[in-house]
């Protein structure tokens, strides 16, 4: 495999929402920390008829809106790196001019596609036509990469016709989040957890990705996708695979992804009865009234904005351990967290009667907060101070690490900073390999097929609640409460 650090970055979809909110701010922030190669030039392209100056003005406005104040020190230098070429990606015509604008990189070219998936095929054809797909070019792809296994395979085939897998970088921006990477550090840089990280000591795992936002104007896209495809197929299954994977032999792209894909292939096809879907109705989020999904959309729809699933992994380590997944829009708070619930002690030597100050003995749990707070909390039982004439009183106490406090000298980074830097440098560890994507779709398609077969439609939930009551029942019939 040819290793190179790119000195040209070609950005498709450069006027889009993702570019303005995340990509440009991330690149500028990397520049502020002197992390971009000094000779990196960024060629932006999209359909709009802009020139270099007007694109830079648009980029400046985006940075002023979306980049943290303390990271705006080098905006001018960053803007100087940018040039712009208008392009209609549906025809081959403009690609020769685009190639001229890119010029001849000294080291290599990194391409980033953040466009509608329908443009992926024509864009790849155009890149090939213009000679931009050679050995010293790699390509990053932003989701959605299809909306089922078949369409994802079609996209992957089109990309594979021009780029080998080791030069394809599929983004799942959750892998760029600090705390998600920290999950690997927690599991594999400490001796403490791994010996008990299995069905002998863990009774279940919960993964929650709750959002307060609604449609956010993404009317067409979201209504065709729904929560299962928008969030579970990618981000949640990636989180699940990091929690459940075997220790890789090293932190390198092949070793890590080999282990993740084994987990994804071990997912047991979920029964419809182990899934709950919901769609929000008008309600209130932190005191402010918000409309229902169909009102935001302007029509009735059967798309789910909430999904909860009880998932199982058919392998030795996780035999009999349910993984409860839930995600939804317009939930009461924005929170992404993983809860690992350990088993109860096999025999309690304490026999004090539970009281309000000292409730019954609770099994330990580990709570990994991913956002908005990045913290790790281990719940432990401790003795309540006192003379305990009625027997030793116990209470659950948290052993908590707030990551920002532990590393107060560092600043919080946007997930795309890590990923864009890895794309420029050519490290695939935090990108999703084709076999992972396909295993993900395989599991998701089977769920959707069952929903269709049984003509299931989402249940209503009030915006600002934790989803339909059936989601609570899904866990409660196993004696489990969702962590809130
Ligand atoms: C995107 C989804 O992939 O992730 C959005 O398409 C969702 O619907 C977003 O809002 C959530 O990302 P984050 O980083 O805000 O948790």
Expressed in angstroms and rounded, the spacing between residue 316 Cα and the centre of ligand 1 is 32
CB 391 within 8 A of CB 376: no
141 plus 92 within the same structural domain: yes
Rounded CA-CA distance 439/306 in Å is 22
161 plus 252 within the same structural domain: no
132 plus 229 within the same structural domain: no
Q: State which ligand 1 atom lies nearest to the alpha carbon of 218.
A: 8
Number of domains in the chain: 2
Expressed in angstroms and rounded, the spacing between residue 145 Cα and the centre of ligand 1 is 15
Supply the residue whose CA is at minimum distance from atom 2 of ligand 1: 230
Does the bond joining 372 to the residue before it have cis omega, within 30 degrees of 0? yes
285 contacts: CB under 8 Å, gap ≥ 6: 212, 330, 332, 463, 464
**What does the DSSP assignment read for 26-47?**
HHHHHHHTT-S-TT-EEEEEES
Q: Decide which of 170, 195, 211 is a domain's last residue.
A: 170
276 plus 185 within the same structural domain: yes
The owner of tokens 């009865």 is 273
323 plus 202 within the same structural domain: yes
- Given 38, 173, 204, 235, the catalytic residue: 235
Residue 205 belongs to what domain range?
Answer: 175-415+424-476
CATH label of the domain that carries residue 65: 3.40.50.720
Residue 75 lies in a domain: yes
Q: Decide which of 152, 170, 188 is a domain's last residue.
A: 170
Sequential pLDDT tens for the chain (484 residues): 669 999 999 999 999 999 999 999 999 999 999 999 999 999 999 999 999 999 999 999 999 999 999 888 899 999 999 999 999 999 999 999 999 999 999 999 999 999 988 899 999 999 999 999 999 999 999 998 899 999 999 999 999 999 999 999 999 999 999 888 899 999 999 999 999 999 999 999 999 999 999 988 887 789 999 999 999 999 999 999 999 999 999 999 999 999 999 999 999 999 999 999 999 999 999 899 999 999 999 999 999 999 999 999 999 999 999 999 999 999 999 999 999 999 999 988 887 677 777 677 899 999 999 999 889 999 999 988 888 777 788 889 999 988 777 777 777 789 999 999 999 999 999 999 999 999 999 999 999 999 999 999 999 999 999 999 999 999 999 999 999 8
Strand 8-12 relative to strand 323-328, pairing: unpaired
Expressed in angstroms and rounded, the spacing between residue 459 Cα and the centre of ligand 1 is 22
Alpha-carbon radius of gyration of the chain: 24
Residue 446 lies in a domain: yes
289 plus 203 within the same structural domain: yes
CB 97 within 8 A of CB 91: no
**What does the DSSP assignment read for 251-295?**
SSHHHHHHHHHHHHHTBPPPPGGGEEEEEEESEEETTEEE--HHH
Q: Decide which of 170, 194, 212 is a domain's last residue.
A: 170
Q: State which ligand 1 atom lies nearest to the alpha carbon of 213.
A: 10
Residue 325 lies in a domain: yes
Residue 484 lies in a domain: no
Helices (H), ranges, 38-93: 52-66, 75-80
Active site includes 235? yes
Give the three-state DSSP class for 332: coil
| Bridge partners, 137 (sequence order) | 109
Supply the residue whose CA is at minimum distance from atom 15 of ligand 1: 211
Residue 358 lies in a domain: yes
146 plus 225 within the same structural domain: no
């Amino acid at each position: 495999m040819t290793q190179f650090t790119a000195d040209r970055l070609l950005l498709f979809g450069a006027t889009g929402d993702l570019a303005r909110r995340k990509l440009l701010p991330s690149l500028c922030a990397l520049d502020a920390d002197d992390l971009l190669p000094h000779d990196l030039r960024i060629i932006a392209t999209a359909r709009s008829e802009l020139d270099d100056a007007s694109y830079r003005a648009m980029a400046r406005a985006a940075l002023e809106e979306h980049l943290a104040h303390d990271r705006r020190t080098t905006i001018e230098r960053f803007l100087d790196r940018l040039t712009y070429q208008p392009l209609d990606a549906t025809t081959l015509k403009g690609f020769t001019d685009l190639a001229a604008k890119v010029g001849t990189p000294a080291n290599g070219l990194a391409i980033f596609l953040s466009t509608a998936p329908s443009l992926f095929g024509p864009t790849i054809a155009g890149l090939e036509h213009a000679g931009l797909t050679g050995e010293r070019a790699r390509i990053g792809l932003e989701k959605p990469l299809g909306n089922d296994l078949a369409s994802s395979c079609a996209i992957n085939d089109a990309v594979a016709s021009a780029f080998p897998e080791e030069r394809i970088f599929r983004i799942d921006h959750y892998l760029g989040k600090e705390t998600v990477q920290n999950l690997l550090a927690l599991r594999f840089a400490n001796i403490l957890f791994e010996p008990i990280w299995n069905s002998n000591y863990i009774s279940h795992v919960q993964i929650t990705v709750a959002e307060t936002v609604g449609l956010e104007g993404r009317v067409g896209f979201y209504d065709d996708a729904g929560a299962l495809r928008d969030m579970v197929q990618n981000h949640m299954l990636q989180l699940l695979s990091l929690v459940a994977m075997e220790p890789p032999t090293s932190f390198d792209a092949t070793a890590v992804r080999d282990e993740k894909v084994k987990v994804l292939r071990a997912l047991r096809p979920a029964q419809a009865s182990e899934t709950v879907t919901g769609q929000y109705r008008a309600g209130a989020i932190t005191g402010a009234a918000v409309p229902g999904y169909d009102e935001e959309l302007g029509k009735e729809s059967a798309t789910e904005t909430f999904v909860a699933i009880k998932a199982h992994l058919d392998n030795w380590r996780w035999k009999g351990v349910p993984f409860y997944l839930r995600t939804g829009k317009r939930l009461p708070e924005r929170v992404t967290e993983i809860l690992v619930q350990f088993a109860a002690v096999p025999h309690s030597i304490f026999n004090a009667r539970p009281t309000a100050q000292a409730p019954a003995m609770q099994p330990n749990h580990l709570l990994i907060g991913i956002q908005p707070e990045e913290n790790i909390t281990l719940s432990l039982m401790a003795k309540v101070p006192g003379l305990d004439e009625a027997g030793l009183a116990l209470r659950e106490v948290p052993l908590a690490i707030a990551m920002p406090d532990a590393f107060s000298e560092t600043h919080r980074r946007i997930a795309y900073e890590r990923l864009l830097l890895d794309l420029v440098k050519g490290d695939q560890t935090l990108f999703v390999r084709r076999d992972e994507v396909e295993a993900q779709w395989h599991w998701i398609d089977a769920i959707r097929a069952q929903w269709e077969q049984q003509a299931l439609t989402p249940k209503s939930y009030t915006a600002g609640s934790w989803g339909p009551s059936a989601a609570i029942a899904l866990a409660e019939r196993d004696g489990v409460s969702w962590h809130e």
